[in-house]
Amino acid sequence: MSDAPHSARFTLDPDFTISPVDPRLFGSFVEHLGRCVYTGIHEPGHPTADAEGLRGDVLDLVRELGVTALRYPGGNFVSGYRWEDGVGPKEERPRRLDLAWRSTETNQFGLSEFIDFVRKVGGEPMMALNLGTRGVAEAIELQEYANHPGGTELSERRVAHGDKDPFGIRLWCLGNELDGPWQTGHKTADEYGRLAAETARAMRQIEPDLELVACGSSAQKMETFAAWEATVLSHCYDLVDHVSLHAYYYEQNGDRDSFLASAVDTESFIENVVATADHIGARLKSDKRINLSFDEWNVWYQDGSAPTLSGEGRGEDWAEAPRLLEDNYSVTDAVVFGSLLIALLRHADRVKVACLAQLVNVIAPIATEPGGAAWRQTTFHPFAQASRYGRGTVLDVRPASPRHTTERYGEVDLLHATAVRDEETGAVTIFAVNRDLTRVLPLDVTLHGLGLSEVVEHSVLADADPDARNTAADPDRVTPHEGAGTALADGLLTARLEPLSWNVIRLA
């Protein structure tokens, strides 16, 4: 620990900004994995279910969460998925083996049901294409079925299935994690780059104004990282709009300080992908700028060390909707999660889409029990607050912070922070994490030219027990509380950030 004074400070000025926030930064992800779909968002017969079988309690929580873009149907699942299986009369839909998660897929929830769900929560669909076991022909057939108004075999098939109006899907993922050897249909960068280019070109012949996402690396630690992006973009740079990033973090071997600094890796990952994409753009002499779609991110205990929501096993091979990856999140997890949100906002100039993976039950902010309750995990609160108050323009925040040493990332700031200004009202929201496990972090923020005079709220997510969790038996064990002693006078905001805390300070 440094001998420097244990306090942090930064300055906010409306003339120093990063970028307006694309609302799709607050997206999420619905994959046919475990209980995300079945007994998660879709459970006919549940006491709250609507006529289409969507759980009303979950719909309410998703609206409260403030999710925007919704990516579907995978994930690893999509690389073996036949979209035709999930359309038409439910009694005629086939049951299939899902190789990705060794489950049986009933296809009782498919494209039409997903679009209905998206419309009911006020989101935007983000459709992933199977470029693992399928290719160009199947992609444009799905596009025509989904988006063409009518008058062709595929569009009229949609009409006959009960959906007269086209779905209007504008945002498409050209496959999923095809750099990964675990992926059904794994490809080399050259193989995938050519396929992505061919698919994008064909799709743009139907609708030139689509937004298309090329697969980037599944993690920064992949051996092929950066070389993969460079090769793929060399093939499809002028045909796509975004390149994807995926990252998951968890506490390993009791190294909590490194875990709390996970966003150091997130920011490095973003900046390295930007550098790679811009290098290819320069090499191709293109005026176009590729943006980033961070379409899978979360805390995920990939070693299975986290407590689970139910305490039950992981299900048997080829089971229907088994309990898989149902991590039960702690206060510590929620603080790291909030820090990851700060990292995304700090790079809003290039990260235009981001999807929390996933939405319900599977490493999710919302948990359910079949036939029973739905409740908020600890991670629900930072996401809901960021989505609600993180709309506007990100201000350039450059903290002067005490630092400490971590095993994985070396010296890191104890303060991780950003701020967003609502251009209509002039209100500013500061999002800040104190990574110190034991000490309060005093914070001074100098405000220049912002016309702010009032602290509306200082919300804190912290707990005397850093491992406290919300459960079905105690769903509100962890909720935000009001911070003490926060004041604004003569252009100076003063606050005290509790140890191991996520903070939302709203100024008007």
CATH of the domain at 473: 2.60.40.1180
**Looking at residues 228-243, what average pLDDT do you find?**
98
Q: Are residues 101 and 155 in the same domain?
A: yes
Length of the chain: 508
Q: Are residues 279 and 349 in the same domain?
A: yes
Please name the residue that has the structure tokens 């407590």: 307
Which residues make Cβ contacts (< 8 Å) with residue 457, sequence separation at least 6? 482, 504, 505, 506
Q: Are residues 379 and 473 in the same domain?
A: no
Q: How far is CA 496 from the centre of its chain?
A: 29
Distance CA 83, CA 102 (A): 18
Token pair, residue 389, equals 């108050």
Structure confidence by residue, pLDDT tens digits, 325-345: 999 999 999 999 999 999 999
Residue 309: which pLDDT band, with cuts at 50, 70 and 90?
confident
Which residues make Cβ contacts (< 8 Å) with residue 40, sequence separation at least 6? 55, 58, 359, 360, 361, 362, 364, 366, 368
Distance CA 282, CA 390 (A): 32
Q: Are residues 112 and 70 in the same domain?
A: yes
Question: Per-residue pLDDT for 5 more than 70?
Answer: no
DSSP state of 173: E
Catalytic residue among 84, 105, 124, 296: 296
**Looking at residues 238-267, what average pLDDT do you find?**
98
Give a yes or no: residue 295 inside a domain.
Answer: yes
The domain of 411 spans 8-13+396-507
Give a yes or no: residue 1 inside a domain.
Answer: no
Q: Are residues 361 and 431 in the same domain?
A: no
**Looking at residues 26-47, what average pLDDT do you find?**
98
Other beta carbons within 10 angstroms of residue 248's beta carbon come to: 17
Residue 3: which pLDDT band, with cuts at 50, 70 and 90?
very low
pLDDT score at 314: 61
Average pLDDT of the chain?
A: 97
Cis status of the peptide bond prior to 73, with omega within 30 of 0: yes
Q: Are residues 34 and 82 in the same domain?
A: yes
**Terminal Cα-to-Cα distance of the chain (whole angstroms):** 36
Question: Per-residue pLDDT for 4 more than 90?
Answer: no
CATH of the domain at 334: 3.20.20.80
For the stretch 161-167, contacts whose Cβ atoms lie closer than 8 Å and that sit 24 or more positions apart, written own/partner, are: 161/87, 161/88, 161/89, 161/112, 162/112, 163/112, 163/115, 167/111, 167/115, 167/125
296 is known as an active-site residue = yes
Residues β-bridged to residue 70: 28, 125
Give a yes or no: residue 437 inside a domain.
Answer: yes
Residues β-bridged to residue 69: 124
**Looking at residues 219-228, what average pLDDT do you find?**
97
**Looking at residues 269-283, what average pLDDT do you find?**
98
Task: Tell me how many domains the chain contains.
Answer: 2
Q: Are residues 368 and 401 in the same domain?
A: no
- Answer yes or no: are the C-beta atoms of 497 and 484 closer than 8 Å: no
Q: Are residues 90 and 169 in the same domain?
A: yes
pLDDT score at 2: 42
Token pair, residue 5, equals 């004074």
Catalytic residue among 31, 43, 177, 251: 177
Other beta carbons within 10 angstroms of residue 386's beta carbon come to: 26
Token pair, residue 137, equals 């022909």
Distance CA 227, CA 456 (A): 47
Residue 315: which pLDDT band, with cuts at 50, 70 and 90?
low
pLDDT score at 1: 41
Domain boundary among 335, 359, 389: 389
Q: Are residues 378 and 469 in the same domain?
A: no
Structure confidence by residue, pLDDT tens digits, 429-443: 999 999 999 999 999
Token pair, residue 288, equals 């176009």
Q: Are residues 106 and 161 in the same domain?
A: yes
Q: Are residues 308 and 204 in the same domain?
A: yes
Element (H, E) at 118: helix 111-121
Domain boundary among 389, 404, 430: 389
Q: Is the dihedral of CA 504, 428, 257, 255 positive or negative?
A: positive
